Amino acid sequence: ITWKRCVDMNDRQLRNVVDGLGGRVNGVPREDGFDITVASEIMAILCLAKDIDDLKERISKIVVGYNFEGNPVTAGDLKAQGAMTALLKDALKPNLVQTLEH
């Protein structure tokens, strides 16, 4: 099996784990891990964005609904991408773990 388990929780410690260390009752010791999934399109965009401008551009393309003709209405159509980006600007900064990884 090549797919890891997926969990909707941003916990970097779960990306690589060693399990089965409790003796014969808990199975064979092995290395495993979880793939981190996102709970919303906003969080997926936050993870993919390269910088604040890229974040704003990606947010503007989010489909938030449809008009009476059935055409998609985006965050950009509502001019909401600036406010949404402002709310996420600090979340885009690397945390201590990310800084140490690079």
Per residue in 4-58, pLDDT (tens digit) is 777 777 677 788 889 888 888 878 888 888 877 777 788 889 888 888 999 999 9
**What does the alpha-carbon distance between residue 96 and residue 21 come to, in Å, rounded to a whole number?**
29
What is the reported pLDDT for 61?
A: 96
Please give the single-letter amino acid code of residue 70: G
Q: 0.75 cut: is pTM over it?
A: no
Number of residues that this document lists for the chain: 102
Within 8 A by CB and 6+ apart from 82, the residues are: 56
Other Cβ atoms less than 10 A from the Cβ of 97: the count is 9
- Closest listed residue to residue 7, CA positions, set 43, 34, 29, 47: 34
Q: What is the mean pLDDT of residues 61-79?
A: 95
